[in-house]
Structure formats: structure tokens, C-alpha cells
Structure 1
Amino acid sequence: MKATWAKDISYEIVRSNRATADIVIERDGRVLVRAPESIPDERIEYMVEAKRYWIYKNLAEWRDLNATRVLREYKNGEGFLYLGRSYRLLLVADQTEPLLLKNGRFCLRRDLVDTGAIAAAKAAFRNYYIARGAERITQRVNYYAPKVGVTPRDIDVRELGNRWASCSPSVNLAFHWKCMMAPQTIIDYIVVHELCHFHYLDHTDAFWNEVDKVIPAYRERKEWLRKHGAGLDV
């Protein structure tokens, strides 16, 4: 990955064995250029300059969408998302598990936050989503993989930084644990999106045609994720 500038636009270049170049705004606001190995830096700079208005527009939207990012305090009554639904937090003392979802509430062990150890509370939620995601997302992959015509090898749910999911050349899939905060329809979109990358690494028309074959309403789900993705956090 190479960081560079085009006048007042800072961007990073990621080269890989792909056919075309594209520009994306990452979830953390970085401008990323994904390019083939063969394209020279000068051509990438020209492409960034040509897309200047688009980049400015999307960065402005990113700032607006992230202005309302939730700041967690881990207090009774706070809402936490699971499969698109908000559940109120209840701090409890008589519980062996760090976190449970029962009786319509997220029950979090009080000692995890009484000492101010917010990191422990965050870890409890992260581990909960990873455990539930390992089962549910695997089920959805197994359901959609035959429809896409692929056979993934390993499926993992973990921390993925600013990516919702990833696929490797060795036919492995990984999904961000935050996916489990989204509605099931959005999880399905992320699953199909990643499965289709086994056919096409780029986001070309051919790639989106593959997604469309399985989820004709993918545009609405893609837009939902763009608008609400920043709120899927603990």
C-alpha cells in the first residue's frame, strides 16, 4: 500500500492482480485506489484528479454520516443492536457469562464496567457477536454459495478493521463481527457480495450482475449499509 497526494487529496494505492482500477471511500474516511500492478502512478494521479468532485462529494457525505457516531457509556438503558433490533442494556451482578441476551435485554456483568474497564465491556460484546456470527453467517454462506456457484473453504468471523468482509485466493471468507448488528437482509447482502468476488475481484458491471442474479434488491441494501454502517459499533 502506498500513500500519496493529488494536490489537496490524500489517497492510498493498493495494487493487486485485478483488471481495472477504482476509487473507494473507506469506512474510516480514507481514499483508497485499488489498481492493477501494471498501471503507472501518473495514470492513477490523473484518475484521482478526474474524480475530484466525486471524491469531495463522498467525503462530505462520510463526514455527515459519521457526525452522529454513538459514544458508548455502558449504562443501564443504553441500546445495542443485534440483527437490526435495538436491545436495552441491563447491568447485572448474578451472572457467570460476561454477556447474555435474555428477556429482551442485553445483560452485561456489572463488574466489567464498575471499575471503568470499558475495554472489557467492549470485548464482551465483540465476543458475543463473534460467537453468534460463526453460526448464523456460516448458515447464510452455506445457503447462498450454491446459488452463486462457489464452494468456500473456511468461514471466519473476526475483527476486520474497515472492511465488512474479505475473501482470499485460497477460497476462505472472513466477516467483521459488526455484521451481526445489521438486519438479516443486510447480512445476506454482505454474504452474497463476498461470494460473488470469487467470480470477479473487481466491482465491475459483470460483478454487480452476479450479485443482482441472487439479490435483485442489492442496491437498496448497499445504500442502507452506506448510510447506517457507522452506527454498527459498540
Structure 2
Amino acid sequence: MIHNYLGQSFLYLGNEYPIQISQEIDIKQDYVVFDGDKLNIYVKQLEDEKIKQALKRFYYQQCKTLIERSIRSYQSNFKIKPRSIRITDNNKNWGTCDSRQQLTFNWKLAMAPLKVIDYVVVHEMCHMVHLNHDRSFWRLVGKLVPDYEQMENWLALSSWKMTV
């Protein structure tokens, strides 16, 4: 049964939207469509777990698209390109960059405003140049996202709402 999701709303790109759940027994896979006003969830079975999985898959897909777009728009500021880009369920970090320029991002970023997503992308791309948080690193971040402290603030104040 769908006890936990009735009447709920969820963040998407920084705004809260109500959900509408529809049972569609003929579909191959459960899915979510954003129509500008609400998140429409289509599931074979009206069960909380099915709804949760459909929402997570939607956020994963959206996050991957949004992150790739952001990386493309900021790439001209960097000589180095990311070796790989992954979306994960890491609850400790919004993003990571390792010494091999492999970038990893949390799927929940799709719930944040675009400018916050851009900030996290820039933050991790700056780690391709500076693998620490020294003054040079923050200077580079600040050059590309002058108001980055506001983005960090949004994440700090809103992360508790970024859940399914």
C-alpha cells in the first residue's frame, strides 16, 4: 500500500512539487515524469517501495543529465577533463574527485537549484587542479562561482529535505 507517499511533495531543482501517483499495470518499468507543476509517478503496483525506487531512478537520471550539462558549460575554464563521471548514493558527500580526475556526485543533487548543482560541479572540477582545500583551490572556486558560500549555505540548510 502507499501509506508514506500520499499528499507528499518533493524537491526538484530547488522547488517543492506535489506528486501524483498512477497505477499503470501495462508498463515495463515504473517511471516519473515532471510536467512543470508536479511529479507524475507511474507504477505497476501501488506500493511505497515501488514509488521510492521510481523516484530514485528519476533523480539519478536527472542528476546525470544536469551534471554532464554543467561540466560541459564549465569545461573551458579547465585544461584537464574529468576521466569519468558517476552518480552514486553516497550520503557523506555531494561530490568527490579522486587523484585520477574521476568525479562522483550524489543523486540527490537533482533536488537542488541549478546554481547549487553548478557550484558542486565547479568545486569538484577545481579538485582536478588542486586536490585539497587550500587557498589556491578556494580562489579558483571563487573566480568561477563568486557566491559559492550561498550555495554551500543552501545545501547546509536544505539537505534534510533532500530525501525520498
TM-score by length of 1: 0.63
The answer to whether the Cα contact below 8 Å between 1:87 and 1:105 also exists between their aligned partners in 2 is yes
- Which position in structure 2 is the counterpart of 1:182? 112
How many residues are treated as equivalent by the alignment? 159
The answer to whether the Cα contact below 8 Å between 2:8 and 2:18 also exists between their aligned partners in 1 is yes
- Which position in structure 1 is the counterpart of 2:5? 74
Deviation at 1:79, TM superposition (A): 1.0
- Which position in structure 1 is the counterpart of 2:102? 172
Please say if 1:83 is aligned against 2:13: yes
Judged with a 3 Å threshold, the aligned counterparts in structure 2 of structure 1 residues 182 and 139 are, in CA distance, closer, same or farther, namely same
Report which structure shows greater RCO (CA 8 Å, sep ≥6). 2
Identity of aligned residues (%): 28
Q: Take 1:228 and 1:150, find their aligned partners in 2: how far apart are those partners?
A: 32
Deviation at 1:94, TM superposition (A): 3.6
- Which position in structure 2 is the counterpart of 1:109? 42
Partner amino acid, structure 2, of 1:161? N
Deviation at 1:120, TM superposition (A): 2.5
Q: Which runs of 5+ in 1 are unaligned?
A: 1-71
Deviation at 1:91, TM superposition (A): 1.4
Deviation at 1:175, TM superposition (A): 0.7
Partner amino acid, structure 2, of 1:180? A
- Which position in structure 1 is the counterpart of 2:31? 98
Please say if 1:194 is aligned against 2:142: no
TM-score by length of 2: 0.87
Q: Take 2:158 and 2:118, find their aligned partners in 1: how far apart are those partners?
A: 16
Deviation at 1:86, TM superposition (A): 1.5
Q: Take 1:173 and 1:157, find their aligned partners in 2: how far apart are those partners?
A: 9
Residues 1-234 of structure 1 aligned to structure 2 (within 5 Å): 73-75=4-6, 77-94=7-24, 96=27, 97-102=30-35, 104-109=37-42, 111-112=44-45, 114=46, 117-234=47-164
Q: Take 1:189 and 1:121, find their aligned partners in 2: how far apart are those partners?
A: 30
Q: Which runs of 5+ in 2 are unaligned?
A: none
Q: Take 2:36 and 2:132, find their aligned partners in 1: how far apart are those partners?
A: 44
Deviation at 1:111, TM superposition (A): 4.8
Q: Any runs of at least 4 consecutive aligned residues in structure 1 with deviations exceeding 6 A, and if so which?
A: none
Task: Please provide the CA RMSD for this pair.
Answer: 1.9
Partner amino acid, structure 1, of 2:32? L
Structure 1 residues 74-119: Cα deviation after superposition (integer angstroms, max 9, x where no partner): 11x321111112111111124734322236221223554x3xx433
Q: Secondary structure at the match of 1:136?
A: helix
Q: Take 1:98 and 1:151, find their aligned partners in 2: how far apart are those partners?
A: 32
Structure 1 residues 42-89: Cα deviation after superposition (integer angstroms, max 9, x where no partner): xxxxxxxxxxxxxxxxxxxxxxxxxxxxxx9211x3211111121111
